Chains A and B, each alone.
Chain A
Amino acid sequence: MELKIVVLAKQVPDTRNVGPDAMTPEGTVNRSALPAIFNPEDLNALEQALRLKDEFLGTTVHVLTMGPGRAAEVIREAMYRGADGGYLLTDRAFAGADTLATSYALATAIKHVCPQVDLIIGGRQAIDGDTAQVGPQVAEKLGLNQVTYTEEILSVKDGKITVVRHIDGGVETVESALPLVLTVNGSAAPCRPRNVKRVMKFKRALAPLELPQGQTYEDLPYADQYGKKQYLRIQQLTTADVNADLQQCGLAGSPTKVKAVENIVFKAKESKVLTGSDEDINGLVQELLASHTIG
């Protein structure tokens, strides 16, 4: 059985290290001020896809990502780890998209690049938004069933897939027919590391937007390689390429608008400062007991 798998991946700002210039005055994320990483749960998703590729000969895994030129980095990273290739969905018209406009763009691109897709796998959520909305919204746009919060794919057989997923307070094993959209939890198996041979093979893979200003592949030092090895040219797709309706893309296609953004400032309290000494701790316990705060 050969499966056609599309992995949805996102390059995200590392929200664990946020500085004061992280937001623009318009309230959108200033991506250039932060280190960009492969969204962690999308790596868990990639691993589930690569396991199916290991199991079923002839299975293909392609990464689809939306973003600026530098987002091609996640496609290369996925290729280093075992993906066959990927597509960079990139266009100024996609800028400012909320989750709904993003899922419209992704769904439209999937119809274009992989109309016979068997499985679409993505991380449960991205760390810059934590919404977990794009997976289900893509599924609905494509009319496909979905399984969210996936922990593990147990089997794929006779056009059906069996999956263990997390639910509130427990776990559930579900079965669904393919095609299907799966979103994968961070607690699922971690992604395999880069493979050295694959790094050597794909390290020069570039998307057109990554080329130095005004240059083509023919101007690069290894121009002959780009002629012989098509996989070194990461495919770029614009709204026109995937025949997207501009009214449903980017800001125009986003029902949600950011009205205001505030930095969080917690009101500081006047604290009583103690040391870890026996007298201090004993005094504190006595004070809390006397006021019936504890006990």
Chain B
Amino acid sequence: MNNVFVYCELEGTKVAEVSQELLTKGRKLANTLGVQLEAVAAGSGITGKVESQILPYGVDKLHIFDAEGLSPYTSKPHTAVLVNLFKQEQPQICLMGADVVGRDLGPRVSSALHSGLTADCTALEIGSHEDKRTGKTYENLLYQIRPAFGGNIVATIVNPENRPQMATVRSGVMKAEVLDPNYKGEVIVEDVAKFVPETEYVTRVLDRHVQAAKNNLKGAPIIVAGGYGVGSKEGFDQLYELAKVLHAEVGASRAAVDAGFADHDLQIGQTGVTVRPKVYIACGISGAIQHVAGMKESGIIISINSDENAPINQIADYVITGTVEEVVPKLIKYYKQNSK
């Protein structure tokens, strides 16, 4: 009872990376609280296939829901799984990924259980809280820390009275670490019909196309990222050229994506991907907080900007004052010359 739960998202029988990142975080939170870590996996044909992707992160109990209608994901059956399981198990914390599935499912579950949910957290900690109006102090609450208001501030949110305390976290924000490859956790294959009434299967998925990610931004050692200052879709061509010679990946800021210069899946920042490459080359990126939040932990940051006062320059190791179209071809030229 009152354990930490992580909802594990599946594509077929593969557990999403974000779920493994959350299991790692969940294990740490459970240790701090002195409780167990439990995981939930719902899909079809998953028994025997997901355990080894979940238990090694330090999961004490895994609840498997294996039934035909649970894959692909649809809103109501998965909601019923969590709502009915949580009524029975009374978790104190529930974490899920802040992607399409988690952001579809989390709010429904919180609404059904009347519990608080904080979206897109960038940090989770345990601490106390004093309600200034009632004078009541709460111990061991989950601090749900998230950028708010377009990324201009960081807010710490708590749910003093309602359980579970729910939070979603984006992929890449936390780090996945196997605790013990042979970690002994209990596996419970639940009777799905007891949790999900037949009437909940109301969405029919007629057609579904999922492509493997076209880029590897999260794992790239070098990223060449373009902002509004790149000027055009064509302007991104030279970034691709630089990326090619450096064996780097190309990313983009929200402004560049909104302007149509780059695809949405290249977006780096609070509402995109969080990255930590060894080298981050920011081309024509001013450095809105919501972008910086997704790349500030990069090893070396090189900023190319015609505005010497661009905010991103403050966190850059190298500031090159010049236009993207002037500087990038020179980088390509001198890299080719010097690396021979």
A276 touches B322 (CB 8 A): yes
B206 touches A173 (CB 8 A): yes
Per a CB cutoff under 8 Å, which of B149, B159, B222, B301 touches A18? B149
B321 touches A293 (CB 8 A): no
- Encoded as 1 (CB less than 8 Å from any B CB) or 0, chain A from 279 to 294 comes to 0111011101100011
Question: Known: A174-B205, A175-B206, A275-B320. Contact between A263 and B116, CB under 8 A?
Answer: no
Could you write out 30 A-B pairs with CB less than 8 Å apart?
Answer: A98-B116, A100-B114, A127-B150, A130-B119, A130-B271, A131-B120, A133-B107, A139-B111, A140-B79, A147-B75, A167-B208, A169-B213, A169-B265, A174-B203, A174-B205, A175-B204, A177-B202, A257-B157, A259-B129, A259-B157, A261-B154, A264-B147, A264-B289, A266-B315, A271-B303, A271-B317, A272-B317, A273-B319, A281-B331, A295-B339
Residues of B whose CB lies within 8 Å of any CB of A are: 72, 74-76, 79, 99-101, 103-108, 110-112, 114-120, 129, 131, 143-144, 147-162, 202-213, 222, 246, 264-265, 270-271, 278-279, 289, 292-293, 296, 299-304, 308, 313-323, 326-327, 330-331, 334-335, 337-339
- A54 touches B (CB below 8 Å): no
For A130, the chain B residues whose CB sits under 8 A away are 119-120, 148, 150, 270-271
Partner-contacting stretch, out of A21-29, A68-76, A85-93, A230-238: A21-29
Q: Which residue of B lies closest to A286 (CB)?
A: B338
- A256 touches B (CB below 8 Å): yes
User: Complex Cα distance A274/B317, Å?
Assistant: 11
For A141, the chain B residues whose CB sits under 8 A away are 111
B143 touches A136 (CB 8 A): no
For B144, the chain A residues whose CB sits under 8 A away are 256
B338 touches A282 (CB 8 A): yes
Q: Which residue of B lies closest to A273 (CB)?
A: B319
A173 touches B207 (CB 8 A): yes
User: Complex Cα distance A278/B303, Å?
Assistant: 17
For A158, the chain B residues whose CB sits under 8 A away are none
Question: Known: A137-B108, A271-B316, A294-B279. Contact between A170 and B149, CB under 8 A?
Answer: no
- A15 touches B (CB below 8 Å): yes
Cβ-closest 10 pairs across A and B: A276-B322, A15-B150, A255-B116, A256-B116, A140-B111, A136-B107, A170-B210, A255-B162, A137-B111, A133-B107
Q: Which residue of A lies closest to B97 (CB)?
A: A168
Interface of A is mostly: mixed
B334 touches A282 (CB 8 A): yes
* Band of interface residues on A: 35 or more
- A198 touches B (CB below 8 Å): no
B319 touches A16 (CB 8 A): no
User: Complex Cα distance A257/B316, Å?
Assistant: 35
A148 touches B114 (CB 8 A): no
For A168, the chain B residues whose CB sits under 8 A away are 99-101, 210
Per a CB cutoff under 8 Å, which of A174, A286, A288 touches B206? A174
User: Complex Cα distance A224/B283, Å?
Assistant: 60
Question: Known: A174-B205, A177-B202, A273-B321. Contact between A132 and B326, CB under 8 A?
Answer: no
Q: Which residue of B lies closest to A276 (CB)?
A: B322
Question: Known: A98-B116, A285-B334. Contact between A259 and B149, CB under 8 A?
Answer: no
Chain B proximity of A278: nearest CB distance (Å)? 6
Q: Which residue of A lies closest to B246 (CB)?
A: A294
Chain A proximity of B287: nearest CB distance (Å)? 9
A275 touches B150 (CB 8 A): no
- A80 touches B (CB below 8 Å): no
Beyond A147-B203, A269-B314, 11 extra complex contacts between A and B, CB < 8 Å: A100-B110, A133-B106, A133-B107, A136-B107, A137-B111, A168-B100, A259-B143, A281-B320, A282-B337, A285-B331, A288-B279
B108 touches A255 (CB 8 A): no
For B300, the chain A residues whose CB sits under 8 A away are 288, 293
Chain B proximity of A12: nearest CB distance (Å)? 10
For B150, the chain A residues whose CB sits under 8 A away are 15-16, 18, 127-128, 130
B205 touches A173 (CB 8 A): yes
User: Complex Cα distance A281/B209, Å?
Assistant: 44
Chain B proximity of A40: nearest CB distance (Å)? 10
- A243 touches B (CB below 8 Å): no
B323 touches A276 (CB 8 A): yes
Which residues 107-145 of A sit at the B interface, judged by CB distance below 8 A? 127-141, 145
A268 touches B104 (CB 8 A): no
For B289, the chain A residues whose CB sits under 8 A away are 264, 266
Chain B proximity of A55: nearest CB distance (Å)? 20
User: Complex Cα distance A257/B152, Å?
Assistant: 19
A132 touches B119 (CB 8 A): yes
